[in-house]
Amino acid sequence: MERTKIMKTANIVDRIMKILQGFAIAGMIVAAVLAVCTAFLGDKMIADASVLKLGPAKLTLAGDMAEYLDRPWAIGSVFADLAALFTVSLAAWFIIRALRGILAPMKEGGVFAEGASKNVRKLALAVLIGGGAAEFVSRIAYVIEFKAYNADVIFNRAIVSAVDAGSRLSPWFLIAGGILFFLSYVFRCGEKLQKESDETL
């Protein structure tokens, strides 16, 4: 009874992940198409450049856009944002693929089937590499976007002595990757116990 329940749940979750994997592929396609559009229609792609986001803060800028916007940097920021979208989508695709690999034996009713720990290690690597790349590209995109604006015009230099576009990387992918590597060890132990149990029976 419990085995049947595990199989049903695993199949449902796998179908959901398959759909999410499709969204990840769509994200990569959209990023690639928009990058081509930006190459040919750069000025139109920066039409919304009157809004500058600084973390949780959003500045809506007034006046002639030419006063505060450096167009080459602005177009570069669009490319950087699209590169970030592509990288995040690619990382998501690899992570979901690894998760589906973990679910594969569960769909057949086996939780600690041989190879499950390898799939968890693959997931850990996908999180570390993909998460690190996505975080890095996102931070680069943030700095480029900031450089697209003329800070001397936006900020009053009589009040603000300096403006820094630096941004630290978030360590979330390192923590998640470490936890997943630990889980791969747990799965490896489970595989050994499962093998011993099967041999006993």
Query: For residue 46, is pLDDT > 70?
Result: no
Alpha carbon of residue 174 to chain centroid: 14
Local confidence band at 169 (pLDDT 50, 70, 90 cut-offs):
low
Structural domain boundaries, residue 178? 2-200
Query: For residue 26, is pLDDT > 80?
Result: yes
Report the pLDDT averaged over residues 136-149.
79
Q: How many domains does the chain have?
A: 1
Burial of 194 (0-12, 13-18, 19+ CB in 10 A): middle
One-letter amino acid for residue 78 of the chain: V
Contact indicator for 99, 6 with CB cutoff of 8 Å: no
Query: For residue 24, is pLDDT > 70?
Result: yes
**101: nearest Cα among 86, 78, 117:** 117
Distance, CA of 188 to CA of 169 (rounded, Å):
32
Q: What pLDDT score does 1 carry?
A: 54
Comparing 53 with 36, the larger pLDDT belongs to 36
Distance, CA of 20 to CA of 163 (rounded, Å):
39
Distance, CA of 69 to CA of 44 (rounded, Å):
14
Query: Interhelix angle for 71-107 vs 116-147, to 10°?
Result: 170
Residues in the chain: 201
